[in-house]
Structure 1
Amino acid sequence: MDDIVIGIDLGTTTSCISVYTKGRIRILDNERGGRVTPSFIYFQPQGGIVIGEHAKTMSVHKPENGIYEVKRLLGRKFDDTYIKKTLDYFPFLISDVSNRPVITFKQNNIIVKKTPQELCTIILQELKKYAEAKLNQTVNKAVITVPAYFNVTQRKVTLAAAKDAEFTVLKLLNEPSAAALAYYFDNDITENHISLVYDLGGGTFDVAILQKKTDNVEVLCVGGDTQLGGHDLDNCILDYVYEVLRKDYHYDAQMAPDDKRRLRNMCEEAKKELSSANEAVITIYGLVAKHPKIIITLTRTLFEEKASKLFKKTIDILHNCLIDSKISKQSIQEVILCGGSTRIPKIQEMISNYFDNKQLNKSTNPDECVAEGAALQGAMLSSSKKQKIEQLKMVDVIPLSLGFDSYGSKMNFVIRRNTKIPAKGSYSYVNSEESATSSTVGIYEGERVDVRKNRYLGKLSIDGLTPAPPVQRRVTFTLNIDFNGILTVKAEEALSNNVREMKVNYTRSDRSEFEIKNSLVDAAENQKIDEKFNNFVKTKTHLYYYLTCFLYNFNKKNVGKEYQPIQVFCKKAKNDLSGMEVDQENNLENLYKEVKTKCYAIAENYEFEYMPKI
């Protein structure tokens, strides 16, 4: 039987599966006939698991056992600001286990704990079951979509969840790229056509600029926020409802899990209703003893006012993506909408206004186009004759720059953001200490020159280094991003066949994603500060190497005892130098001049080796 590859949109709020066979794309519906399946899991109190629409309905009776939005928790720490901020909105318990979010509930009177990865596996297993029932065969190969701004940690966890669901993932495809692929496949598009995909789903927001080439679709730039989506818009309405209940009825609904789940469902439905009506009515029965029936009216205007900051945030991200790509908005020939939240009229109006009243493309189904694009990518990677497809290829990019730290906390950018993947880059690190037997570098993701302001991913060490004079021993560290955007790093010593290779241990990250989610805006706003920092570290590093080589030679050469105070001075200067920060640039400049005055003549007279110019 043919080895069919399916496409899976593993969404925050809903998931969808699709397949391309015999020249057409087909959505594989679930056991209830739905073309999309809510990414919702209900753990029945007496045992058993229910997935999808039925799970969402059943959870009203026991909300602490109804789990949703698990995709938003993937690859995060418990102390992530986003998780702390949204804990009050969840009716189920999220526990702190070694600074990792773990969902905790009771089943059969036993406390059960599930990680976000395990919960995603459960959803994928259910989708696998649907696909096999519709295709009447075993399905174990898939292309799975992820938000363009999913970092390497989140991608790795997604792959692990799929593996546990017994899927072989041929590619992790960025969601806006998948939507564009579906659009280009269905339409006769001319060469060099440039489009922008605006993808606002239930849990994440992505924007991507793509260009149609002769035989492929090339991603030019991506932007986004993994903490912005339809559920955040629901929260705007939910906050308003909480406010009305507290103010007018003296009732705090946030304290009761049952009320949270029920009210969230109502607010979500009100949001959907406002996409086609100017007013929605939320009717609440049996919530407050003295008020058996509470009616809260929500107008479209009020909703737009409550959500205005979030709407504007998506336009700001879109705007910054255009700036990064160096493409004018007049050059965008098509704006493609993707994700259920793009049905909101105000969002469509704001996008159209930004592009000078341009008509938006609504030809793709916002709930299904990502899965369709994944199915097309799956067909391109499939060996099945039924899935033969040659029309298009997808060329993707990485969303954030990657690099290593160096002396002075400087970020050495190795692979820049928007580089096409797969990608590879190297950095040669000079080991300045004669006695050092190992070298260690940290791997970072971000756009700031000061590496401490970027996101720490992990570190790699190489030991057993060959003895050598200072600044003469180099270790080359290489980053490699594979087809799925997963990162590996290799260290190699130039003087010997000494090699270390490993996948980055992302779980050692000591920064939350919240701190770097606006890294592009942050870098742009601090460009002058980064330039000043770069110049400072350049001088600091040069002086550090000079002092290291000077002290090495001082010990090796027959330098007169009368110069020993200079040796003491250099040791202290080297120690003081390590602690200097950019706001001490005057101190650095003075130290530089003092070192030159006291050391230059000695280095010249005694013919010191390996000395950098000063």
Structure 2
Amino acid sequence: MDDLVIGIDLGTTNTCVACYRNGMVEILENSEGGRLTPSWVFFMKNSALPPIVGQCAKRMVHTLPPNGIYETKRFLGKSFNAIEETLKYFTFNVENKLGSPVIKIERDNYTQELTPQEISSLILKRVKKDVEDKFGHKVEKAVITVPACFNTTQREVTLAAANEAGFTVLKLFNEPTAVALSYFFKKEDANDGYALVYDLGGGTFDVSILKRTATNIDIICVDGDTQLGGKDFDNLIVDYVCEKTEHYDWDPKQNRRKMCRLQNICEEAKIDLSVGEETSIILDGFVSDQEIEIELEREEFELKAHTLIERTINIVERCLKNSQIKKNQIEHVILSGGSSRIPKVQKMLFDFFARNTLRKFVHLDECIAEGAALQAAMLATNATQKIEKLVMTDVVPLSLGIGAWPDRMNFVIKKGAPIPTRKSIRVETIKHEQTTITFKIFEGERLNIKKNYYLGSLLLENITPAPPGQCKVWVTFTIDHNGVLDVKAKEQRSNNSKELTVRYTRGRHSESEIKDALVDAEKNQKEDESFDTFSKRKLYLLQYCEAVKYNLRILNLIEEYQEVYSLCKIIQTKIKNIHVDNKSELDNLISEAERQCVPIVKNREFKNMPLSQ
């Protein structure tokens, strides 16, 4: 059983764990018996005592607010400037350290510094211990969910936190995709077609459009906002309470203990307004010995929340536009995340789609973990986790390739290729006795690498010296289930090879950035065609001059044809600076080189000459 794979929803507000075994998904309770573990960590003043994680940490935060840490998923992989505006609502200390947020906690006579990654790791360690206590053996493999709009850095930090906690992550799974998997697994009779997942969680908002067939779920488009979630709705009520009580000359944002209490009260008020038309916010002991009661109607709350909800609808609309799918093609709108319970959210979605397509989970807070558990079972080797109902297919959103001289994109994996995938291309040396090749890796659709995204570079050294074009290297791109791109360059005639791992994920760019890149390539197709012709002729001239120099050298003719040899060297220097707009200059150089060299090439029967472009 030590190869059991679990699914973890590492949430902003709560963390949930599930496991698929023997044909069913089971939510794994924590040591306190709860199905959800609050993503809270509390540090005792005594530094000899270990941190407390979960429900107990959330309860104890009132005793020492600065030492209760929560919702740090919002900080993962972000700069301090990106989160600074939201810090006024937090009751612990976050400071700027070299541009990154660092949490500072006072313990005994020293200050402890922790990163958001370390907080996530502590939460995952607690989860791991609870799961292992339940099963009675080690559990080290997991699928962990992340917002679809998480970028590369945020995903890397999540992976690092999981590794620190002792997990081997088989896959980082996009949250809305996990929701869709859970939904369709339960609804075997659901119609085929397009589905849209609307996932409004505690700290992030995600949208995903998927296509369901009998055995597959294909991801079509993703979008979202990592700074929009249920916490923002809570903060609207916090601000409302502060406005209503400002004549008492108090500011709970300056009193951390009161702020903690107020946040919990406002969160409860939001939940009350999802089932009732009005609620009372009672502040007992906040101002002297007075009890203050503030009435809040659902209509007033919805008016305040309208801008936030509208932001989510705009993202839904953008996702549809980018996917080129019409509203009436969506057969299912699947709701996920606790804040999707807000009636105004559901009404605005209903009005937007103008049809009864809304689908709700009974347990909105658990469906992501359930989907993660199903994905975990698909990757597991444990016999009890065998699953055959559905297959998840993600695709490469933008093409991947290597830069070749002169600034030309050699495409290796084309956009739309299913993940996982593996492709190879063959590259030849250009210069005589060349011993190194640098492979620059790019993502994008343009032929000119300068107009694509640079991902990294790989240097292959000590390659076998050979005539121009005679040493061949195979470059292989492999993308695994986890969105990790491995690039390997191997010399064809030897075991000389080099590898590079690039953290490549669908979340590297927002869906709008991906769409912009595709539109840019389409709009500039003629420019790319012109660059294609230009770059091929430029490469031809470089190779032609290199081949002439090589033949003069091996035939001992340099002294006899010194003028031609020098001309080739001069041309090779000149062409490096010729821009695509200077085609006539390139044509003149080609004409000059061929006029001087062709007679010698024919008379002396030069070898390895490139074909004319």
Normalised TM-score (structure 2)? 0.81
Q: Percent of aligned pairs with the same residue?
A: 35
Residue 66 of structure 1, aligned match among 57, 68, 86: 68
The residue aligned with 1:178 is 178
Q: Does the 8 Å contact 1:148/1:222 carry over to 2?
A: no
Residues 24 and 548 of structure 1: is their aligned pair in 2 closer, same or farther, counting only changes over 3 Å?
closer
Distance, in Å, in 2 between the alignment partners of 1:450 and 1:516 is: 22
Using the TM superposition, name which of 113-122 and 514-523 deviates more.
514-523
The residue aligned with 1:574 is 575
Residues 548 and 197 of structure 1: is their aligned pair in 2 closer, same or farther, counting only changes over 3 Å?
same
The residue aligned with 2:53 is 51
Using the TM superposition, name which of 33-42 and 165-174 deviates more.
165-174
What secondary structure, in the 3-state scheme, does the structure 1 residue paired with 2:546 have? Answer: helix
How far apart are 1:123 and its partner, in Å?
0.8
Q: Does the 8 Å contact 2:322/2:512 carry over to 1?
A: no
1:149-178 deviation per Cα after TM superposition (whole angstroms, max 9, x unaligned): 445554454344334333344444332332
What letter corresponds to residue 400 of structure 2 in structure 1?
A: G
How far apart are 1:485 and its partner, in Å?
2.5
The residue aligned with 2:555 is none
What secondary structure, in the 3-state scheme, does the structure 1 residue paired with 2:358 have? Answer: coil
What letter corresponds to residue 314 of structure 1 in structure 2?
A: I
Matches within 5 A, 1:323-338: 323=324, 328-338=326-336
The residue aligned with 2:343 is 345
Using the TM superposition, name which of 461-470 and 327-336 deviates more.
327-336
Residues 243 and 360 of structure 1: is their aligned pair in 2 closer, same or farther, counting only changes over 3 Å?
same
Q: Does the 8 Å contact 1:455/1:516 carry over to 2?
A: no
Residues 471 and 269 of structure 1: is their aligned pair in 2 closer, same or farther, counting only changes over 3 Å?
farther
What letter corresponds to residue 593 of structure 2 in structure 1?
A: C
Residues 40 and 213 of structure 1: is their aligned pair in 2 closer, same or farther, counting only changes over 3 Å?
same
Distance, in Å, in 1 between the alignment partners of 2:611 and 2:186 is: 61
How far apart are 1:408 and its partner, in Å?
5.7
Distance, in Å, in 1 between the alignment partners of 2:85 and 2:428 is: 43
Distance, in Å, in 1 between the alignment partners of 2:122 and 2:5 is: 20
The residue aligned with 2:394 is 397
How far apart are 1:473 and its partner, in Å?
4.2
Distance, in Å, in 1 between the alignment partners of 2:410 and 2:245 is: 53
What secondary structure, in the 3-state scheme, does the structure 1 residue paired with 2:359 have? Answer: coil
Using the TM superposition, name which of 363-372 and 223-232 deviates more.
223-232
Distance, in Å, in 2 between the alignment partners of 1:544 and 1:516 is: 35
How far apart are 1:360 and its partner, in Å?
0.8
Q: Does the 8 Å contact 1:146/1:174 carry over to 2?
A: yes
Q: Does the 8 Å contact 1:449/1:530 carry over to 2?
A: no
Distance, in Å, in 1 between the alignment partners of 2:89 and 2:195 is: 36
1:394-433 deviation per Cα after TM superposition (whole angstroms, max 9, x unaligned): 3231464352341465555533455332211234445434
What letter corresponds to residue 498 of structure 1 in structure 2?
A: N
Higher alpha-carbon Rg? 2
The residue aligned with 2:220 is 221
Q: Does the 8 Å contact 2:194/2:212 carry over to 1?
A: yes
1:530-582 deviation per Cα after TM superposition (whole angstroms, max 9, x unaligned): 536634543453243134224424544458566688557624532423xx4xx
Q: Does the 8 Å contact 1:408/1:537 carry over to 2?
A: no
Using the TM superposition, name which of 216-225 and 521-530 deviates more.
521-530
> Within the alignment, does 1:316 sit opposite 2:317 as a pair?
yes
Residue 534 of structure 1, aligned match among 504, 528, 533: 528
Using the TM superposition, name which of 447-456 and 495-504 deviates more.
447-456
Q: Does the 8 Å contact 1:471/1:610 carry over to 2?
A: no
Structure 2 residue runs without a partner (length 5+): 553-557
What letter corresponds to residue 401 of structure 1 in structure 2?
A: L
Distance, in Å, in 2 between the alignment partners of 1:280 and 1:410 is: 64
The residue aligned with 1:26 is 26
> Within the alignment, does 1:605 sit opposite 2:599 as a pair?
yes
Q: Does the 8 Å contact 1:192/1:213 carry over to 2?
A: yes
1:44-69 deviation per Cα after TM superposition (whole angstroms, max 9, x unaligned): 22243122233234335544333233
Distance, in Å, in 1 between the alignment partners of 2:253 and 2:431 is: 59
Using the TM superposition, name which of 168-177 and 88-97 deviates more.
88-97
Residues 2 and 601 of structure 1: is their aligned pair in 2 closer, same or farther, counting only changes over 3 Å?
closer
Residues 515 and 267 of structure 1: is their aligned pair in 2 closer, same or farther, counting only changes over 3 Å?
farther
Distance, in Å, in 2 between the alignment partners of 1:247 and 1:606 is: 93
How far apart are 1:41 and its partner, in Å?
1.4
Residues 546 and 41 of structure 1: is their aligned pair in 2 closer, same or farther, counting only changes over 3 Å?
same
Matches within 5 A, 1:324-473: 328-382=326-380, 387=384, 389-398=386-395, 400-401=397-398, 403-406=400-403, 407=405, 412-416=410-414, 418-434=416-432, 436-445=434-443, 456-473=454-471
What secondary structure, in the 3-state scheme, does the structure 2 residue paired with 1:504 have? Answer: strand
Residues 114 and 474 of structure 1: is their aligned pair in 2 closer, same or farther, counting only changes over 3 Å?
farther
> Within the alignment, does 1:485 sit opposite 2:483 as a pair?
yes
What secondary structure, in the 3-state scheme, does the structure 2 residue paired with 1:203 have? Answer: coil
Distance, in Å, in 1 between the alignment partners of 2:109 and 2:72 is: 23
What secondary structure, in the 3-state scheme, does the structure 2 residue paired with 1:465 have? Answer: coil
Residues 358 and 419 of structure 1: is their aligned pair in 2 closer, same or farther, counting only changes over 3 Å?
farther
The residue aligned with 2:120 is 120
How far apart are 1:258 and its partner, in Å?
6.1
What secondary structure, in the 3-state scheme, does the structure 1 residue paired with 2:481 have? Answer: coil
Distance, in Å, in 1 between the alignment partners of 2:248 and 2:530 is: 60
1:29-49 deviation per Cα after TM superposition (whole angstroms, max 9, x unaligned): 334443212212122222431
What letter corresponds to residue 79 of structure 2 in structure 1?
A: F
How far apart are 1:78 and its partner, in Å?
3.3
How far apart are 1:204 and its partner, in Å?
3.3
Residues 101 and 525 of structure 1: is their aligned pair in 2 closer, same or farther, counting only changes over 3 Å?
farther
Distance, in Å, in 2 between the alignment partners of 1:129 and 1:71 is: 21
The number of equivalent residue pairs is: 595
The residue aligned with 1:545 is 539
What letter corresponds to residue 343 of structure 1 in structure 2?
A: R
Distance, in Å, in 1 between the alignment partners of 2:160 and 2:153 is: 11
Normalised TM-score (structure 1)? 0.81
Distance, in Å, in 2 between the alignment partners of 1:491 and 1:266 is: 59
Residues 37 and 409 of structure 1: is their aligned pair in 2 closer, same or farther, counting only changes over 3 Å?
farther
What letter corresponds to residue 315 of structure 1 in structure 2?
A: V
